[in-house]
Chain A
Amino acid sequence: MITVETQPWSVMVDHAQATYPNECCGAMLGSIDGDVKTVRLALPLDNAYEGAQRERYELRPEDLLFAEREARKNGMDLIGIFHSHPDCDAYFSKTDLENSCPWYSFIVLSIQQGKFHHANSWLPNMEQTEAAKEELTHPNA
């Protein structure tokens, strides 16, 4: 299961609402203790997708390297990636799956008419063929 603390949660929601109607993305830093992940810091990152960002996002590898370095600097780990679905539910789409990486939790925030609506966390498999829903706790839940 994954828990997002209040401060990073507000960073994620603010970023998702500010970039609406486009998709946003970012990194989640924190700690892992057995099966329990805690997000303590959220880093909004650039949506680098060249095209209609209303329904696509792309992370630059160098931004992920930056997030890894920030994590190390803060004594944390890079544990997940978040992105938003403007006016769509927080499912893990085929596009999400085919461009995912099984090493991280993927939190999807559904933004409806510019406001946070709900969120889910997903764990994609190695073959990028399916994603399991991960129990998610956050301040708006």
Chain B
Amino acid sequence: MPKILIPTPLRQFADKKDSVDVAGATVGEALAALTTAHPDLKKNLFTDEGKLRSFVNVYVNDEDIRFLEKDKTAVAGGDTISIVPSIAGGAR
């Protein structure tokens, strides 16, 4: 089963775990399994329309899924999925 690493601020919604093993053959399935097991994570990761929030990047191992096959990116046992916020800004 792929493993999803949980960023520190979200662990409070995942029984304090820093990683969760989930079933799923794609990133989309794995994230769905994660938010089914830990429903409080859902609103942190997805909009009401079910799209990943704009500040949420998902990596499989060290690759951004936007440069792979997005939520259809295949995952298997031994793969690590990371949730990494995207952060930027500017005074103007």
Contacts and interface: CB of A to CB of B under 8 A. Distances in A.
A41 to B, nearest CB: 14
A103 to B, nearest CB: 4
Contacts of A57: 88-90
A5 interface: no
Nearest to A92: B89
Given A104-B87, A126-B53, 18 more contacts: A23-B90, A49-B88, A55-B91, A57-B89, A57-B90, A58-B88, A64-B87, A72-B18, A77-B8, A77-B9, A79-B8, A86-B91, A95-B90, A95-B91, A99-B87, A101-B86, A102-B44, A103-B7
Contacts of B9: 77-79, 103-104
A79 B11 CA distance: 13
Pick from B18, B53, B87 the residue with the most CB of A within 10 Å. Answer: B87
A59 B70 CA distance: 21
A43 to B, nearest CB: 14
B44 A93 contact: no
A104 B87 CA distance: 10
Chain A binding surface, main DSSP class: mixed
A55 B89 CA distance: 8
Interface residues of A, number: 34
B51 interface: no
A64 B84 CA distance: 7
B84 A78 contact: no
B53 A56 contact: no
Nearest to B10: A103
Contacts of B62: 62
A65 B91 contact: no
Nearest to B56: A101
B44 A96 contact: no
Contacts of B64: 61
B68 to A, nearest CB: 14
Contacts of B85: 61, 64, 101, 103-104
